[in-house]
Amino acid sequence: MIPDPLFDFTGKVVLVTGGSRGLGYCMVKAFAERGADVIVASRKLDACEAVAGEVRGLGRRALAVAAHVGKWDQCDMLIERGYGEFGQIDVMINNAGMSPACPSHEMSENLFDSVMNLNFKGPFRLASQIGQRMSQGDGGVIINISSTGALMAMPGVVPYGAAKAALNAMTISLSREYAPKVRVNTISAGPFLTDIAESWDPARRKKQPVALGRPGAPGEIVTAALMLASPASSYTTGALLRVDGGQR
């Protein structure tokens, strides 16, 4: 089968944080199926290795790295492992995150810091360090996975929404800082049936207050990521693409 030239990532290396499950897993598989070698990062090595094994089964190279990307030393370790193995990173997807529900007046400082670190502090470190390397080399693409929680009222997850709003602002600034060789864009994800949805009540898993009336299947994030990563999107940077079923 001849790959579609618009979505042919042969010879490219893609790093996906939170790549062992949910949206990250779907993106890992999508890029590998289209020729990319992949770096799979998450906290649990066994989960990363399982996904890396699937990638190798597709005939692609894969590197599994256990890393807590809310910590800068582990971000730096992940970067060095990736460049050490492949010599390049062409597409970097900041996907790892968490959104624990907690009344704002009850949130501890430790939980606040954990949410901010994983959703913004770590992604900033990864994007800035990899973006700099890309800008000094052959260029590349950074995609930040954000949330509609940054764009609408979300009681009970205020630090999460604030961190994702910071991620959105970071996208715009870094798209100028590392231009013209590096493109930086945001995917703003709505309600998806990932593992976090397992705690939702059955009605919420079937219906959502969005234009399409339902939550998204994890695979429905794939085309947005492929489009933004594609060289065919060479005039798209600093953009926020909503993949949320028409949420308002």
Q: Which residues are catalytic?
A: 160
Question: Helix, strand, or coil here: 201?
Answer: coil
CA–CA gap between residue 40 and residue 37 (Å, rounded)? 10
Residue in the structure block whose two tokens are 């290396």: 13
Q: Where are the beta strands (DSSP E) in the chain?
A: 13-17, 37-42, 62-66, 91-94, 140-147, 182-189, 240-243
Question: Helix, strand, or coil here: 210?
Answer: strand
CB contact set of 152 (below 8 Å; sequence gap of 6+): 247, 248
Task: Judge contact between 241 and 224, C-beta under 8 A.
Answer: yes
Task: Judge contact between 90 and 12, C-beta under 8 A.
Answer: yes
Segment holding 113, helix H or strand E: helix 109-116
Task: Judge contact between 8 and 34, C-beta under 8 A.
Answer: yes
CA–CA gap between residue 65 and residue 109 (Å, rounded)? 28
Q: In what order do the strands lie in the sheet with 62-66?
A: 62-66, 37-42, 13-17, 91-94, 140-147, 182-189, 240-243
